[in-house]
Amino acid sequence: MTIPEPGRPRPISGSESLYLDLVRSLAAIVVVLDHVQDLFRMPLLPRLGHEAVVVFFVLSGYVICNTADSRETTLASFMTARLARLWSVLVPALALTVLCDAIGRHFGTNPAVYARINADYPFLRIGAALTFLSETWVSIQPLSNGVIWSLCAEFWYYVLFAAFTFLPRGTARFLALAATALLAGFKALLLLPIWATGVLLQRWQGLRRIGRVAGTLLALGGLAVVVAITTLDIYGLAWAAARHSTSPWLFTQLAQAKTFWLDWIFGLAVAAHFAGMRRIGASLPLEQLAGPIRWAANLSFAAYLFHPPLLYLCASFLSPAQGWLALLITFPLIALLGRPAEGSKGWWRRRLEHLLPVVSRGIGLPWPRGATGSKAH
C-alpha cells in the first residue's frame, strides 16, 4: 500500500471511486437520452444533457488532478496519458462518424435528418477535431458528432493544468499558459471555472477534514441545488435571458457557453455534493453493484462520443416515433464497439511514448529520457 506524502492530497478511495463511476455512468446515459430527442419524438424524457456535461467537467477536473498528484507526476507522463486516453476513443469515434454519416446520407430512407449537419470541408472538420481545435474561436462541428466540442475544451484544460502544475515559475510557464489560453478560445475559457472546481475539490485540504455532519450537509445541499436548477427549468430561463440580452451574433458565437455563469453555480453545487459524499459515501451499499457500475463506467466515454452518429444513422432509417427502437440499437452497438476502443489506451500510450520525444526534439524542445514513465507516491 502506498502512503501519501505529508500535505499531499490522498488518492481517491475505492468507495468514492465507485460512487464517481456511478455518477459518470448516469451522466453518460442522460446525455444519450437528451440527444435522442433531437431526432425522435420522446416527450416523457427530460432534457438534461447540458447539465450532465457540467457534471463531466467537474468529475474530470477532480479525477485528472488526483491522477497528477498520485501517478502521472511529470509533464511528459501526464500529457502522454491524457493524449492516449483521448485519442483511444476519439479516433474510432470520428471514423464511426464518417461511416455512419455516409451510410445515412446515401442509403437512408430519411436522409433529411442530416439537413442541419454541415458536411462541407470534411477533412478540415475531422482534422480540427483530432487536434482539439474545433472550438478554438469558431465552431467547426465534425459532421454529426457535435458532442466533441466538450472534448476539445477539456483537452486545453489539461494543457493549462499541466503547464501550471509542472512548469517552474517564470517566462516559460507564462508563455505556455498564454499560448494555451489563445488556442483554447473564449468559450472554453468561460467554462474553465467549472473544471477548476474539480481541481479545488482535490487540492483544498480543508474539505478533506470536514466531519460527518458537515459532509451530510454538503452532499444534501449540493444535491438540492442541482435538483432545484433542473426541475425549475432555471437553464431555460437563463438561455432566454441570454438571447434577449446579447446580440444574435454573440448569442450564436457563445455556443455551449451561453449560460456560463449558471454553469459555474451548477458546477459548484456538484463539487459540494462530491465533497460531502467523499465523507459519507462509504456507507452507501454500492459494493454489491460494483461489477455493473464499473462495466458501465468503462463504457461511458465511448457512449458519449459514439452515440451521436449512431442515433443519426438510426434516424435516417426509422420514423420519428421509433426513438426507443433507436436506443435499443444504439446502446448494444456502443457496448460492442466501445470495449475495444476503451481497451486500446495501452497501445496508444506505447506509441506516444516513442513518438512524442521524436516530435519534441524535432521542434527543438527538450524531452528527458524516461520522462513518460509514471511515478507513484
Angle formed by the axes of helices 323-342 and 14-35, nearest 10° = 140
Q: What is the DSSP letter of 364?
A: T
- Average pLDDT estimate for 31-36: 97
pLDDT tens track for 109-157: 999 999 999 999 999 999 999 999 998 888 899 999 999 999 999 999 9
What pLDDT is attached to residue 14? 85
Is pTM beyond 0.85 here?
yes
Average pLDDT of the chain is 91
Q: Domain limits of the chain?
A: 14-362
pLDDT at residue 104 is higher than 90: yes
Quote the CA–CA distance of 68 and 165 in Å, as a whole number.
Answer: 9
**Per-residue pLDDT reduced to its tens digit, 261-308:** 999 999 999 999 999 999 998 888 899 999 999 999 999 999 999 999
Q: Which alpha helices (DSSP H) does 71-170 contain, by range? A: 75-107, 122-130, 148-166
From residue 155, alpha-carbon distances to 20, 44, 45, 183, 233 in Å are 21, 34, 31, 11, 30
Q: Which residue, among 123, 39, 50, 16, has the nearest Cα to 317 in the 3D structure?
A: 39
In this prediction, residues 333-360 reach a mean pLDDT of: 89
Q: What is the pLDDT of residues 204-239, one digit of tens each?
A: 989 989 999 999 999 999 999 999 999 999 999 999
User: Which of 255-264, 292-301, 309-318, 352-361 has the lowest average pLDDT?
Assistant: 352-361
Q: Crossing angle of helices 260-280/171-203, nearest 10°?
A: 50
